[in-house]
Amino acid sequence: MKLLTCLFLICTLSVFGKNSYAAEIWVAPNGNDANAGTRDYPKLTIAAAIRQARELRRLKYAAVAGGIHIIVKDGEYILDEPLFIRPEDSGTASSPTLIENAPNARPVISGGAAVNNWKRAAIHISGLPTEAQGRVWEAHVPKVGGNTLLFRQLWINGKKAVRARESDTDEDMGRILSLNKVKQEIYIAVPKVGLPKDPGQMEMVIHQMWAIANLRMKSITVEGNKANLTFYQPESRLEFEHPWPAPVIDKDHKMNGNSAFYLTNSLSFLNRPGEWYEDLPAGKIYYWPRKGENLSAAKVIAPSLEKLVQVTGTLERPVSYVFFKGLSFVYTTWLRPSLQGHVPLQAGMYLLEAYKLKIKGTHEKAGLENQAWIGRPPAAVELTYVNHTGFENCTFNHLASTGLDYVKGTHDDEIKGNLFRDIGGTGIQVGMYSDEGFETHLPYNPREPLEVCTNEHIENNLVTDVTNEDWGCLGISAGYVKGILIAHNEIADVSYSGISVGWGWTKAANAMSDNIIKANKVHHYAKHMYDVAGIYTLSTQLNSIIDSNYIDNIYKVSYAHDPQHWFYLYTDEGSSYFTVKDNWTPTEKFLKNANGPGNVWENNGPHVADKIKNQAGLEPEYRYLLTGIKVNADNQPINHVKP
């Protein structure tokens, strides 16, 4: 046993830097978890390497004096469960743990399940539109853990397919005719493609001001050229009781018509290439291939896991000095909309309960006219009670909900030089919003300061094509944070605002202060939602700065509730004690809504110096992230206001 231990140590030691040693643990797709973890005899899984590193630290081997490097060779690592990193996995300032790519490798950590054995459907499929008959392919739904996999996304050779929907494009979306809050019913015109008698697994997605709602459909009653729709609980109650944001019914013609919507997830809507449908009871998937796609040879992936990595400490025992470098995190799911619907308040935070107050006011806010309690969508990579951790040169891609989330109790972490792309929700998220038992308008100011996410650095990341399912999410979203630095990031092709900092809608003292949003480049935003800005803030944030950012190219959205209600800079309710200066925008289209005291605005607009404008966004050494990125691929029109 002693001989084996000595051999193990010899195998895992390597020189790292002058006069210092670090342990190396190698991982490869052709490895074996019984191996020693050397370059020649690597582990098979990252989880086994993490355990081995934990044992090295527990037994206090001198090998870890210079740190532990878990070196991951090229290949795909498909997870059965999330990687879990605990306080026992912590490093130190002089002996950190790095989980990193091998030289010239780009390892992929995946939560996906392969969909194999596709064949062209040979017989008539009941319920499939005529134009799709004979053109769709079918496969059996994968089984995961012995169960038929429920999923909401499908990727063909890395390109997301479209969940079958009744309107071919967003501009083709219909408008709600009317709704009955008491009966919890919505009336729509029967779409051109018609409606099945049984809604099956159908969903309705409603555009409502700054957020969407996903409602699972319970019944369809056709009355002439109109259809009456009802929905399952709990989302039906939430949708009809909560006041903000509500579906727009513009009976007085003061806005831009009633809310737009689309229907999705019915076989009867699968009528064009690129669309798919999962028939869960039958255990089959149907897909109409796009031009050039050969399903006999294609790599088709359905997501299986909601989380890929979970780093969780406690207030007393946080996780410290663990870093990720050069890894790709791909293919996650998020199932709440399929199981309970999804009715968000803002920034993708979903409502658990919300209603209008018959008599205004609470103890904390005399004029408050509604109350709400929220939940937080999961992230592919999620960290709680950590410090001195970081992500560098990583890719977050093909994800259903949030990409990377520092939730609570974190400080002195760094998110630098990463690519966030093709994400259904928010790209990067940091800080508390409201716990499930904490009313969302209350100012968050915990007794224990370490609960507040503090001194987090988010720099030189490219965030693009995120929020592509939950349109009310953000490129970079920060809740209650202190000392956050959001600098030199580029954000493009987002459905709502680019950067949002703050929560609570309050001028009251809270945990936020000393936040800096500097030298970012935000462009091609508001792809779907208005009441929007390139940079958006909420609530009192003492000694905070919005400085030297570049904001341009807001999308033109014909179905927005108020076509003029878009801005480059937007300090919303309670925003106080900000200095907003030297931000370049094409025009001075800003909104200061119900702001508090202490805000200073200086030199913002088209006259800002070219040097400031040109230095915003990714710094030169990080511009390689832009390689292969195409913005506004669909040539959506851009809003312009004459100076």
Q: What is the pLDDT of residue 364?
A: 84
3-state secondary structure of 477: strand
* Distances from the Cα of 283 to the Cα of 145, 155, 302, angstroms: 15, 18, 14
Q: How many residues are recorded in the chain?
A: 643
Q: Taking 50 as the threshold, does the pLDDT of residue 7 lie above it? A: no
Collect all residues with Cβ–Cβ distance below 8 Å to 28 and sequence separation of at least 6: 42, 43, 44, 72, 73, 75
- 108-110 vs 600-602, strand pairing mode: unpaired
Distance CA(436)–CA(434), nearest Å, equals 6
User: Mean pLDDT over residues 178-202, rounded?
Assistant: 96
Q: What is the pLDDT of residue 21?
A: 64
Distance CA(132)–CA(106), nearest Å, equals 39
Q: Taking 80 as the threshold, does the pLDDT of residue 19 lie above it? A: no
Q: Taking 90 as the threshold, does the pLDDT of residue 502 lie above it? A: yes
Q: Taking 80 as the threshold, does the pLDDT of residue 13 lie above it? A: no
Q: Which 3-state string (H, E, C) describes 244-299?
A: CCCCCCCCCCCCCCCCEEEEECCHHHCCCCCEEEEECCCCEEEECCCCCCCCCCCC
Collect all residues with Cβ–Cβ distance below 8 Å to 215 and sequence separation of at least 6: 203, 204, 205, 206, 231, 232, 235, 236, 239, 341, 343
| Residues 202 and 263 sit within 8 Å (Cβ to Cβ) | yes
Among 353, 336, 413, 356, residue whose Cα is nearest residue 382: 413
Distance CA(462)–CA(395), nearest Å, equals 10
Both tokens assigned to 302:
């359905």
User: Mean pLDDT over residues 445-450, rounded?
Assistant: 96
3-state secondary structure of 168: coil
Q: What is the pLDDT of residue 255?
A: 95
| Residues 262 and 229 sit within 8 Å (Cβ to Cβ) | no
Task: Give per-residue pLDDT as tens, 37-67.
Answer: 999 999 999 999 999 999 999 999 999 999 9
Distance CA(85)–CA(60), nearest Å, equals 19
DSSP states of 567-618 as a string? EEEEE-TT-EEEEEES-B-SS--EEE-S--S--EEES-STTS-HHHHHHSSS
* Distances from the Cα of 396 to the Cα of 44, 161, 310, 332, 526, angstroms: 22, 18, 15, 10, 21
Task: Give per-residue pLDDT as tens, 213-230.
Answer: 999 999 999 999 999 999
Q: What is the pLDDT of residue 6?
A: 42
Distance CA(612)–CA(606), nearest Å, equals 11
Q: What is the pLDDT of residue 643?
A: 63
Q: Taking 50 as the threshold, does the pLDDT of residue 176 lie above it? A: yes
Burial of 514 (0-12, 13-18, 19+ CB in 10 A): middle
Distance CA(583)–CA(519), nearest Å, equals 8
Distance CA(265)–CA(338), nearest Å, equals 10
| Residues 452 and 446 sit within 8 Å (Cβ to Cβ) | yes
Distance CA(303)–CA(161), nearest Å, equals 13
Task: Give per-residue pLDDT as tens, 290-337.
Answer: 999 999 999 999 999 999 999 999 999 999 999 999 999 999 999 999
User: Mean pLDDT over residues 359-382, rounded?
Assistant: 95
User: Mean pLDDT over residues 524-533, rounded?
Assistant: 98
Distance CA(103)–CA(39), nearest Å, equals 12
- 462-466 vs 419-423, strand pairing mode: parallel
Of 48 and 4, which is predicted with more confidence? 48
* Distances from the Cα of 393 to the Cα of 148, 409, 415, 419, 555, angstroms: 35, 24, 9, 7, 29
3-state secondary structure of 336: helix
Among 150, 88, 75, residue whose Cα is nearest residue 113: 150
User: Mean pLDDT over residues 431-458, rounded?
Assistant: 97
Collect all residues with Cβ–Cβ distance below 8 Å to 51 and sequence separation of at least 6: none
Q: What is the pLDDT of residue 1?
A: 39
Among 496, 478, 466, 139, residue whose Cα is nearest residue 298: 139
Q: Taking 80 as the threshold, does the pLDDT of residue 540 lie above it? A: yes
With a pLDDT cut of 70, the percent of the chain lying above it is: 96
3-state secondary structure of 339: helix
3-state secondary structure of 191: coil
Among 136, 163, 261, 169, residue whose Cα is nearest residue 208: 261
Q: Taking 50 as the threshold, does the pLDDT of residue 5 lie above it? A: no
Task: Give per-residue pLDDT as tens, 254-266.
Answer: 999 999 999 999 9
Task: Give per-residue pLDDT as tens, 554-612.
Answer: 999 999 999 999 999 999 999 999 999 999 999 999 999 999 999 999 999 999 999 99
Mean pLDDT (the chain, rounded): 95
How many C-beta atoms surround the C-beta of residue 382 within 10 A? 21
